[in-house]
C-alpha cells in the first residue's frame, strides 16, 4: 500500500516519455469480475492505450487486461473498450481541452483505492523526436553535474 491507501498495479512508463503531461485526473474504471482479479495480479499492459470522449462519456481503448485463468468462459475480450467514471463537470472541462490541437488523454497508471480500480488520466501533448532528444540530453547533463558535485545525495 502506498500513500492514502493507494495500491499501484501498473504504470505506463512509455507515456511520460512520449507525451508532455499538462494535467492529470483520477477516473474510476468499469470492470467485470474476472478482470478485477486479473488486474490485482498485475496482468495488464498499456501498449498504445488511450482514452476518448464519446457522447458525454469517457472510454479507455487498447488497454490489455489478460484473461483470468480460473474464470475460463466468463472472461471478456482482453482489449475491450472500458468505460471511465468521471464527474459531469470534469468531462465538460475535458471536452474543451481535448478539442484543442494536439491534446490527447493517456492513462498513466492503474491502481486500487479502497478496493476500487482507478486510472490516472493525463491530458497530454505528443512530443516530437527533437523534444525527446532534448529531454534526454538535459537529464544526462544533470546526472553528470550531480556526479561532478560529489556523487549522490
**Domains of the chain: which residue ranges?**
3-150
DSSP character at residue 73: G
Q: What band does 106 get if pLDDT is binned at 50, 70 and 90?
A: very high
Is 3-150 CATH 2.40.280.10? Answer: yes
How high is the pLDDT of residue 29?
A: 92
Burial of residue 141 (number of CB atoms within 10 Å: 0-12, 13-18, 19+): exposed
How high is the pLDDT of residue 78?
A: 77
If you average pLDDT over residues 91-108, what whole number do you get?
85
Give tens-digit pLDDT for 17-51.
888 889 999 999 998 888 888 888 888 888 888 99
DSSP character at residue 76: P
Tell me the pTM. 0.77
How high is the pLDDT of residue 95?
A: 86
Amino acid at each position: 500500500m502506498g500513500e492514502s491507501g493507494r495500491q499501484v498495479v501498473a504504470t505506463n512508463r512509455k507515456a511520460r516519455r512520449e507525451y508532455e503531461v499538462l494535467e492529470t485526473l483520477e477516473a474510476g474504471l468499469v470492470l467485470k469480475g474476472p478482470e478485477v482479479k486479473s488486474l490485482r495480479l498485475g496482468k495488464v499492459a498499456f501498449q498504445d492505450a488511450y482514452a476518448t470522449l464519446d457522447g458525454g462519456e469517457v472510454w479507455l481503448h487498447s488497454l490489455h487486461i489478460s484473461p483470468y485463468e480460473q474464470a475460463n468462459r466468463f472472461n471478456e475480450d482482453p482489449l475491450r473498450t472500458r468505460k471511465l467514471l468521471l464527474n459531469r463537470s470534469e468531462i465538460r472541462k475535458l471536452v474543451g481541452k481535448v478539442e484543442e490541437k494536439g491534446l490527447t488523454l493517456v492513462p498513466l497508471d492503474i491502481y486500487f483505492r479502497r478496493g476500487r480500480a482507478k486510472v490516472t488520466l493525463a491530458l497530454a501533448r505528443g512530443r516530437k523526436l527533437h523534444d525527446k532528444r532534448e529531454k534526454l540530453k538535459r537529464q544526462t547533463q544533470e546526472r553528470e553535474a550531480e556526479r561532478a558535485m560529489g556523487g549522490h545525495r
